[in-house]
């Protein structure tokens, strides 16, 4: 089972993903994609950690998310990836212009063959006006393309709004 949970900031997407992982009955490996660069991000990461059961194992992915998933995914394991759009942002900001395309392609290639239950969280940012800045527009374009490709692969896609899940697929 592969699923994508989308939503805005503080929409309840991570809580829903954590609940789905917990309900899977499988061993859970939490794949953290955020690079902590400031105090605000440190606080957000701490809030997420407090909610997670102590027996869940955490792995930090860095840019090579596909490699981490290939290494860690097993038939009797649930992988919870939080969050794809933070991962994408870090790739966009990297000095290596080719890194984003390589890593996104690697993820899209690896995902269909991964065993076990894969739950991925992503920020839905493309429901408003087109951003003014070039980097912001590129981010929205890349996130939109990534979400479409991931959603096509997934068995289930859910949009969260105000803490409420809306089934989009599956």
Catalytic residues: 48
Where do runs of H (alpha helix) occur along the chain? 13-23, 39-51, 65-72, 84-92, 99-110, 134-153
With CA atoms as reference, report the closest residue to 109 among 44, 139, 58, 64: 64
Residue/partner pairs of 48-52 with CB below 8 Å, 24 or more apart? 48/14, 48/82, 51/14, 51/15, 51/18, 52/18
The strand order across the sheet containing 117-123 reads 57-60, 27-32, 77-82, 117-123, 2-7, 156-161, 164-169
């Amino acid at each position: 089972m592969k699923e994508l949970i989308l939503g805005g900031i503080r929409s309840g997407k991570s809580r829903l993903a954590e609940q789905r992982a917990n309900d899977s009955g499988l061993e859970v490996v939490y794949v953290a994609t955020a690079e902590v660069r400031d105090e605000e991000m440190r606080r957000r990461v701490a809030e997420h950690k407090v909610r997670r059961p102590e027996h869940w194992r955490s792995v930090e992915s860095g840019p090579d998310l596909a490699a981490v998933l290939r290494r860690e995914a097993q038939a009797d394991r649930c992988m919870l990836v939080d969050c794809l759009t933070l991962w994408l942002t870090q790739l966009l900001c990297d000095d290596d212009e080719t890194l984003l395309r390589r890593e996104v392609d690697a993820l899209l290639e690896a995902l269909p063959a991964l065993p076990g239950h894969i739950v991925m969280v992503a920020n839905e940012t493309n429901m408003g006006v087109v951003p003014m800045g070039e980097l912001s527009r590129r981010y929205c374009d890349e996130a939109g393309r990534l979400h479409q490709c991931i959603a096509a692969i997934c068995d289930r896609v859910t949009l969260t709004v105000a803490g409420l899940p809306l089934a989009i697929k599956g």
